[in-house]
Structure 1
Amino acid sequence: MSACRVHSGAPGFAAVERLNAYRGLTHAYQNAGGDNELILYDTARAMADRDRYVPPEPELGPPDDGDLDSPRVWLFLARDAERRTRDRLAGRVEAALRDGQDAFTAWNGNLALARRTATACADRIILEILAAASGTGPKALGPVLRLHALDRLERRAAVLLDEGVVPPGILDELGDARRRTCDELAPARRSWPPRSTFPPPSPRPPRSWPEGPRAGRKGTPRREFAKEAGEPAQGGYRSR
């Protein structure tokens, strides 16, 4: 959401449209289900136990000669990282249990890996959505989706390197791919509206008379409601 506000320019920080309302919702749901960290841990535990979860199958690759512009490569990297983190988490928890640790202690010592495992699963789902949209959506949307996918892979480069999914030098390759994509987007950028341009305001819903037991109390309906009706409303607002 923060990235969306930045890329929207001035409208992203102004009280127009519904972007800030969505931002408020994201803040409100940060603690949904107790806490987002707990959701990640629950997800990782289900992944390790294969509770209604099937890990990605190993693949020979990477496909397309490892070209980071290819959606097939995005999926290969994300699925391989998910499978490796899941297998390592399950192995470490099982080893701790065999050594006599109780379940709480075994999991408590692997919370950082559990968080990375669940995040890898979420990344794979997002990249699958981007890859599907890249293949079926408008051609002009392709570079935008590719840039989003490359940004996500760049943020997860540490995990990709730590799990042996990619060799050293991946950050340089991702940087080169991002520059190529931005160069591809640059000509179309000239036709976009300026970032300081505000969109037209949304039409307001029609006013209606208040309903319920409070309708006749002082202050409601307001003066403008009575004026629109063509006659003063009983119990309406009157200035002194």
Structure 2
Amino acid sequence: MILGHDIDDNSTQTSQKFRNIKVIKLINPVTIYFIVLFGVIVYGSFRYSTTYIPFYQRNIESYAAHSLVKVGCVIGANNNDETKYYVNRTEELARNGSKFILWSEAIAYINDTTQYNELEQGIKNISQMYNTYIGFTYSDASSSNGKIYNKLTVMSPNGDILINYAKSNLVPFVENKVTAGPEILQTNITSDFGTIGGAICFDYNFPRLISQASKNNVDFMIQPSDTWVSSYRYVN
């Protein structure tokens, strides 16, 4: 009787150990990985499903543009810092119906306030005459302290300055003589484009600046860049 009881106990213990081993084999990192992967795939399939648009997606007609706006770009000519040349190119684009005109990065060079005033007045005349927005760029060396800034100025059709921004993230070594401006994204509200904002070329590599666009609910971001030009023309 005692021997039989011992045999039963041993059989029970062996069976329990076997079940524990099976459970351990089933619950392991590989199994957990595939369970999680399956869940992600199923969730993703529902998320991107086009059969239930109201919950996950919007119909394209609800956010796509119903009309197009003609824009123009003035690209810097190699070794040509003649301001009048770029102003004339800008007027040609405005005359042809461009409602927003943007210059590539630092295509004009301003030595003093007289030169800047002439440039600003020329852009203002075009903006008001043709009812267009113009983002013009220049290397600003007009400061009395001798510093050079890489600037973007945006003019409204009313002749108001909406953005007056100095590049805040400079290209190492290439822009070693340029002074960085404050790392604050300038924005302004317009009747034609909503809230606009602007930064210059290399600035877009820095989330701490560009992320300010979402915080300010920017609708239209502009980016003059030196890479539009066939050869590099940074200020040295």
If the length of structure 2 is used for normalisation, what is the TM-score? 0.20
**Greater length-normalized contact order (CA 8 Å, ≥ 6 residues apart):** 1
Considering fraction of residues, name the structure with more strand.
2
If the length of structure 1 is used for normalisation, what is the TM-score? 0.20
Larger Rg computed on CA atoms? 2
Considering fraction of residues, name the structure with more helix.
1
